[in-house]
Structure 1
Amino acid sequence: MTLTDRVTRPAKTRTAHPALVMAGLLLVAANLRAAITSVGPVLDELRHDLGLTSLTASALISLPLIAFAVVSPVAPVLARRVGIERTLGAGLVVLAAGLVVRSLPGAPLLWLGTALLGVAIAVLNVVLPALVKRDFPHRIGPVTGAYSSVQASFAAIAAGLAVPAAGWTSAGWRLPLGMWAGLALIALAVLAPQLGRRGGPPPSPADVPAAGVTATRSPWRTALGWQVTAFMALQSTGYYILITWLPSIESSAGVPATEAGVHQLLLNACGIAGSVACSALIPRLRDQRMLGVAGPVLYAVATFGILAAPQYGVVWAICAGIAGGSSIVLALSFFGLRTGHHTQAATLSGMAQCVGYLVAAAGPPAVGALHDATGSWTPALIAMIAVDVVLVVSGFLAGRDRVIA
């Protein structure tokens, strides 16, 4: 069968109602961070119970990021072979299993479960933008913003419920680490009617590149692919550094712990606002250069403010939150906006998230090591500002109205 035949012949695959697709997409997104953010608030209790060192316990948060980096390039291959919906379904099954396993007694099961959920979330992270590209090609920005907001909201809910949930039963910290398996199963139930669907609706001629060139060209071999990847990597690095070290940086500057906690809450809450604002602006602009520059500049302003005037931490937390929320939505939207087909979008997503999370996983330890070596947070904050400058450049380049070809 020729490429033209595949375009013009009616699709034999079952198609789902857009509302059902959107519901499944949002529920999958709700599972992307809850499993990770539920760990931090109960980490001290977990350490005491299992006798772990601080370094070993902190690896529980870094392990999923490493899994993201390792598994992300494999996810597009899996999606092409078995279909997007089936790949998402398999990811949700593994995620639910990982959450249950890590909540069972025994330190080895804690690590095994954490590794499983890291693999599962890596697959979901990569494949979801391909689903958006395939089923919502003209609404990439708004749909990406919607699922990013849901992702951030459930991340905040999971973090907020962790400590209270640990006191609900004698299971203690094991309950908040395992209870989100229920959310994964709910998402799987909503996705279940679509699991028989291997492909999307028949593509329009505009979505099919001449001779299949755009659909098959690897982003790994293009400058634009690396520009998008650099933007994804550096904005993720800034976010994870602030999430990890902002309370410690503020504490060393004399900010009370209660205020630092409020600033951390604002950082997450304003991320949702940034996500919504960015998703609304993407379809209204001719290209995304302004957005690609604005978020990094706001990041740099926040970082300089933390360095020069930490007493105004509430302002810098708001700025950093808006910058982080808008930047992640833009980075995820680039996977669809800079590609010609959903299979290529999956490949770019895998590439950018592989490199991105590898860099992001190294960011917080590098900043911590720089602080330990110098005895001050100033060199680390200056280094972060330098990273923000590079992020501005990559955001401008990736924001140009181009497609990998």
Structure 2
Amino acid sequence: MKRLLPAVSAAATIFLVAVCLRPAITAVGPLLPQISATEGLGEAAQGLLGALPLLAFALVSPQVHRVSGRLGMERAVLVALLVLAAGTLARSYSGHAGLWAGTLIIGCAIAVGNVLVPAIVKRDYAADVSRATGFYTAFITVSASLASAIAVPVADAVDWRLSLALWAGLALVVAAAWAPRARGPAVIETGGPRGDVAVWRQPRAWLITAFMGLQSTCFYVFVTWLPTIEIAGGVSERTAGVHLFVFQGMGILGGLAIPVLLREPGRRSLGALVASLPVIVAVAGLLLAPGLAVLWAAIAGLGQGASLVAALTLISLGGRTSAETTRLSGMAQSLGYLLAAGGPVAAGVLAERTGAWRATLVMVVVLGVLQAVAGLAAGRVPRGQTLGSRS
């Protein structure tokens, strides 16, 4: 027991890393009016500022395996946490240029965590990857929701710069907790000389990537536009904000529940389908019965939380080794977040061109259906077969 507890404690620090992967991003949205007033940002610039971390995810994710290949995964995560803290401080206190440079640095640092955490979960929790992934995403969702909730109150009490900068402290605390894992010799797995080629040429890897990208796109469309869509339908601004909190909160429940359907290989297709259906139902509800907006927000949140866990589980279980999983994670998150960055923009363009939000909601229904199809196909992995296996 004395040997077991330190091992469990060390493994559990991965959930602390998860807490750092969203607050520096989700705290920005509620503060955009204050940031734009201080920095003189127009609507287009505000949209670019919000999309910049996602673009960084897309650019950096495919290269993360090279960093972890040189440093080892533990040291790469430690460096990412320290860079995240530095970028968060630079964004607040380095002037106008620092606002943009710091935001880009934050996105690059978080991309490293996004890619490596599924590989570490696969290694440390091999006996129950889906449940560990559920807890990991719950930590992400809770911290993201908390950051959104306290951003404005802290800014009103002090200013928006401190409201954003305080998350640098969290990154430093987690880095200190993670540091013991990075002190030993670097454990570096290799995926073979053709590992990169094998992943990018595997049809199943593309299906997993499609599922990851489509669920991310739906999520960011909801986060960006759900309050606006509801306000256009007659919901007050305050109520729409509460509904967005409900959306994020229900994601925790969805993420913790879906592992029941993801543990057995033969049920993963069903799990991916079940995770996808609530989004389709919720958007159809917004189209047909907008007066029940809070119900549809809750249902959409369940689906989004479940879909993220399903996507990360498929990634974690997709490779034979941690190195191969890292490559798959980089591929899925690079292309997935590139697609996600365009989703809110496309949604806004459709609304502007049509003068209403119906076309945007129809677009999300189509994305949800495609997500369900991709999940069904990606989940059909014969027992014992992974991406690297040959049929």
Aligned to 2:91: 102
Tell me the equivalent position of 1:373. Answer: 353
1:279 aligns with 2:268: no
Query: Contact (CA 8 Å) 1:214, 1:340: kept in 2 or not?
Result: no
C-alpha distance in structure 1 between counterparts of 2:122 and 2:264, whole Å: 18
1:221 corresponds to which residue? Answer: 201
State whether structure 2 residue 377 is matched by structure 1 residue 390.
no
Q: Is the 8 A contact 1:156 1:268 kept in 2?
A: yes
Deviations 1:185-230 (A, max 9, x none): 11111111111345559x9xxxx99xx6996763110000000000
1:176 to 163, 177, 192: 163
**Contact 2:266/2:380 (8 A) holds in 1:** no
Q: Distance in 1 between matches of 2:329 and 2:20?
A: 18
Structure 1 equivalent of residue 102 of structure 2: 113
Task: Note the C-alpha offset of 1:401.
Answer: 2.7
SS of aligned partner of 1:32: coil
1:3 aligned partner: none
Of the three residues 304, 317, 326, the one matched with 1:337 is 317
Does structure 2 retain, via aligned residues, the 8 Å contact 1:275–1:329? yes
Instruction: Output one character per residue of 1:296-339: Cα deviation in whole Å (capped at 9) or x when no partner.
Output: 22111111111111100111111100000000011011112122
Which residue of structure 1 lines up, in the alignment, with residue 301 of structure 2? Answer: 321
Residues 1-27 of structure 1 show CA distances to partners (whole Å, capped at 9, x for unaligned) of xxxxxxxxxxxxxx9943233332011
The residue number in structure 1 matching 2:127 is: 138
Q: Does 1:76 align with 2:56?
A: no
* TM-score under structure 1 length normalisation: 0.90
- 8 Å Cα contact 1:30-1:154 kept in structure 2: yes
Question: For the residues of structure 2 that align with 1:238 and 1:280, how far apart are their CA atoms?
Answer: 23
Q: Distance in 2 between matches of 1:285 and 1:300?
A: 25
Local SS of the residue matching 1:258: helix
Counterparts of 2:7 and 2:353, CA distance in 1: 54
Amino acid in the other structure paired with 1:80: G
Q: What is the SS of the residue equivalent to 1:254?
A: coil
2 CA distance for matches of 1:268 and 1:98? 26
Conservation of the 8 A alpha-carbon contact between 2:212 and 2:332: yes
Question: Which amino acid letter does the alignment assign opposite residue 283 of structure 1?
Answer: R
* Alpha-carbon contact 1:16-1:194 (below 8 Å) kept: no
Task: Note the alpha carbon deviations across 1:133-172, whole angstroms, 9 max, x for none.
Answer: 1222122111111111001101111111111111333xx1
Q: Deviations over 1:251-273 (max 9, x none)?
A: 11112222211211110000000
Matched to 2:179, the amino acid is: A
1:34 aligns with 2:14: no
Q: Percent identity?
A: 39
- Which residue of the partner structure matches residue 12 of structure 1? none
Shift of 1:108: 0.5
Question: How far apart are 1:279 and its partner, in Å?
Answer: 2.7
In structure 2, relative to structure 1, the CA distance for the partners of 1:105 and 1:78 (3 Å cut) is closer
The question of 1:191 aligning with 2:171 is answered no
Q: Distance in 1 between matches of 2:179 and 2:165?
A: 22
Matched, 1:300 2:300: no
Q: How many residues align?
A: 382
Residue identity in the other structure for 1:187: V
Give the corresponding residue for 2:32.
Answer: 43
Match of 1:66 among 55, 65, 70: 55
Query: Structure 1 residues 20-29 or 262-271, which shifts more?
Result: 20-29
Q: Which amino acid aligns with 2:172?
A: L
Query: 1:376 offset after TM fit, Å?
Result: 1.5
2:212 aligned partner: 232
8 A contact 1:84–1:198 mirrored in 2 = no
Partner SS state of residue 319, structure 2: coil
* 1:86/1:198 contact within 8 Å kept: no
- SS of residue matched to 2:380: coil
- The answer on whether the counterparts of 2:142 and 2:252 sit within 8 Å (CA) in structure 1 is yes
Q: Distance in 2 between matches of 1:99 and 1:341?
A: 33
Mean alpha-carbon deviation: is it higher for 71-80 or for 393-402?
Answer: 393-402
Shift of 1:77: 1.4
Amino acid in structure 2 at the alignment position of 1:360: A
Provide closer, same or farther for how the CA distance between residues 375 and 399 of structure 1 changes in structure 2, counting only shifts above 3 A.
same
TM-score, normalised on structure 2?
0.93
Q: Secondary structure at the match of 2:126?
A: coil
Partner of 1:6 in structure 2? none
**Partners of 2:378 and 2:262 in 1: CA distance:** 13
> 275-284 or 299-308: which moved more?
275-284
Counterpart for residue 289 of structure 1: 269
Partners of 2:373 and 2:123 in 1: how far apart?
29
Matched residue, 2:43: 54
C-alpha contact 2:261 2:267 (8 A) present in aligned 1: no
Bigger CA drift: 137-146 or 346-355? 137-146
Q: 1:257 aligns with which of 226, 237, 240?
A: 237
Q: Distance in 2 between matches of 1:104 and 1:397?
A: 47
**Where in structure 2 are the equivalents of 1:85-100 lying within 5 Å?**
85-100=74-89
Q: Please say if residues 13 and 177 of structure 2, whose CA atoms lie closer than 8 Å, have aligned partners that are also in contact.
A: yes
- Is the CA contact (8 Å cut-off) linking 2:65 and 2:323 kept in structure 1? yes
SS at match of 2:381: coil
Inter-partner Cα distance in structure 2 for 1:61 and 1:197 = 38
Contact 2:196/2:327 (<8 A) preserved: no
